[in-house]
Structure 1
Amino acid sequence: MRTGMSDFPFRIVGFDLDGTLVDTAGDLTAAVNHALARIGRAPLAETMVRPMIGLGARHMLEQGLIATGGVPDEDFDRLLGELLAYYEAHIAVESRPYPGLIAALDALEAYGVRCAVATNKAEHMARKLLGELGLADRMAAIVGGDTLGVRKPAPEPVLAMIERSGGGRAVVVGDSIYDVMAARAAGVPSVAVRFGFLDRPAEALGADHLIGHYDELLPLLAGP
């Protein structure tokens, strides 16, 4: 087996967070339902919340409200604050890394690859979640949705992640069209995961590559 940075085609592997590194759907659903309950709305099933994840908490709450009767004229900011406070206090109750992720990170690190995160989640929330799961120290950079004032699908979060990780040839791994669009705009290849919070078939995301399990990532990136 080849080892060493000079032998691997990529210097940096950048990951989205929710639906890519970590299955956070259970805890995010609980947070949405907590906010909905504050105004007497019925709870949503996790399967309904999954496609709402990806553009940040505000978008997720808006979609949850639309699905349960519409966005109220008042109280949105209060509900968002309650959602965020509840989520931060229960951020890793059910959330777990996807199968095969830890082994994939180990293998990438053995090649000298730097792993990093570019997410639309608020940076302090991303750091808290990754910290509680023992993953924060494994990331060369963590760029959140509020780090730069612009979020994916804009390229800036991906470009900042690459720069803060030391630069070099990079690839982005994600589960949404926003990840693919950000990677393309940043001029780097993308890998879409089939197991994320998909709002369309994975084949329709337009990624350069697809994987169905993290066992497939290293062989794909290493090439023949």
Structure 2
Amino acid sequence: MPHYAADAVLFDLDGTLLDTIADLADGVNGMLAELGRPVRPLEEIHSFVGKGIANLVRRSLTENAHASEAEIDAALPVFRRHYARVNGRNTTIYPGVRETLDTLRAQGRRLAVVTNKSTAFTDPLLAHMGLSGFFEAVVSGDTLPTRKPDPEMVVHACALLDVEPARALMIGDSINDSLAARAAGVPVLLVRYGYSEGGVPVDAIDCDGLLSNALETLDHLQPR
């Protein structure tokens, strides 16, 4: 098992730190119902998560169905309104996450969130779940013009923390996290319990290791 001398650890949010799928599904189905479209099962919505809200709305409207670009554009604020109402209501922190963050901070490692979720939802959610205080930087889906799998979000997070990418470690749950980290020159570990956008099996994704529990992150780090 490789051990990384990481000065910083970067975390994806949905499916890595927090199980948000129930609230995302409520937001999607609230939108679909208001638009007069059939609601979708949670398992299907689960596979749409990972590339930001615009992609989630698009796939919710067009998967085995049809929607024009104008309809998709009009649906975005409808989803935002429904999701803002439920954001955090049924979200839970994955086992081991809080203990992992406590330990990493006690070790003096710098922490950041790198998520494709919009700032308007990321910041209130972290605050609601009591996690805001752990992170020195939060890079959300609208912080930059690009989103994961583009590496710029990861590079930007490292710059905010004043840490070279090679001295950081990325923890995520999908191919978007792996591609972004790889292109940024950051080692990447993926959790087995997350969403893995598109339903791609996590053990089929190029990464440096798999985690069954967030606490296993600590096993991949050199002592400090």
The TM-score, its normalising length taken from structure 2, stands at: 0.92
Instruction: Give the one of 107, 111, 136 matched to 2:107.
Output: 111
Q: 1:220 to 1:42 in 2, by over 3 A?
A: same
Using the TM superposition, give the Cα deviation of residue 123 of structure 1 relative to its aligned residue in structure 2, in angstroms: 1.9
Identity %: 37
Corresponding residue for residue 160 of structure 1? 156
User: What is the identity, as a one-letter code, of the residue corresponding to 2:97?
Assistant: L
User: What is the identity, as a one-letter code, of the residue corresponding to 2:175?
Assistant: I
2:133 aligned with 1:137: yes
User: What is the identity, as a one-letter code, of the residue corresponding to 2:188?
Assistant: S
2:202 aligned with 1:202: yes
Corresponding residue for residue 54 of structure 2? 58
Q: 1:147 to 1:160 in 2, by over 3 A?
A: same
Using the TM superposition, give the Cα deviation of residue 62 of structure 1 relative to its aligned residue in structure 2, in angstroms: 1.1
2:56 match: secondary structure: helix
Instruction: Give the one of 95, 118, 127 matched to 1:99.
Output: 95
2:194 aligned with 1:220: no
RMSD: 1.5
CA–CA distance in structure 1, aligned partners of residues 120 and 63 of structure 2: 28
1:192 match: secondary structure: strand
CA–CA distance in structure 2, aligned partners of residues 73 and 58 of structure 1: 11
Using the TM superposition, give the Cα deviation of residue 73 of structure 1 relative to its aligned residue in structure 2, in angstroms: 5.3
Unpaired stretches in structure 1, ≥5 consecutive residues: 1-7
1:43 match: secondary structure: coil
CA–CA distance in structure 2, aligned partners of residues 177 and 29 of structure 1: 21
Instruction: Give the one of 164, 167, 170 matched to 2:168.
Output: 170
Conserved in 1, the CA contact under 8 Å of 2:100 and 2:218? yes
Using the TM superposition, give the Cα deviation of residue 30 of structure 1 relative to its aligned residue in structure 2, in angstroms: 0.6
1:173 match: secondary structure: strand
Using the TM superposition, give the Cα deviation of residue 210 of structure 1 relative to its aligned residue in structure 2, in angstroms: 0.6
Using the TM superposition, give the Cα deviation of residue 68 of structure 1 relative to its aligned residue in structure 2, in angstroms: 5.5
Using the TM superposition, give the Cα deviation of residue 200 of structure 1 relative to its aligned residue in structure 2, in angstroms: 1.3
Corresponding residue for residue 27 of structure 1? 23
2:131 aligned with 1:123: no
Using the TM superposition, give the Cα deviation of residue 143 of structure 1 relative to its aligned residue in structure 2, in angstroms: 0.4
Corresponding residue for residue 75 of structure 1? 71
Using the TM superposition, give the Cα deviation of residue 220 of structure 1 relative to its aligned residue in structure 2, in angstroms: 2.0
2:38 aligned with 1:42: yes
The TM-score, its normalising length taken from structure 1, stands at: 0.92
Q: Which moved more, 1:156-165 or 1:63-72?
A: 63-72
User: What is the identity, as a one-letter code, of the residue corresponding to 2:54?
Assistant: R
Unpaired stretches in structure 2, ≥5 consecutive residues: none
User: What is the identity, as a one-letter code, of the residue corresponding to 1:184?
Assistant: R
CA–CA distance in structure 1, aligned partners of residues 63 and 39 of structure 2: 10
Conserved in 2, the CA contact under 8 Å of 1:38 and 1:79? no
Divergent runs of 4+, >4 A = none
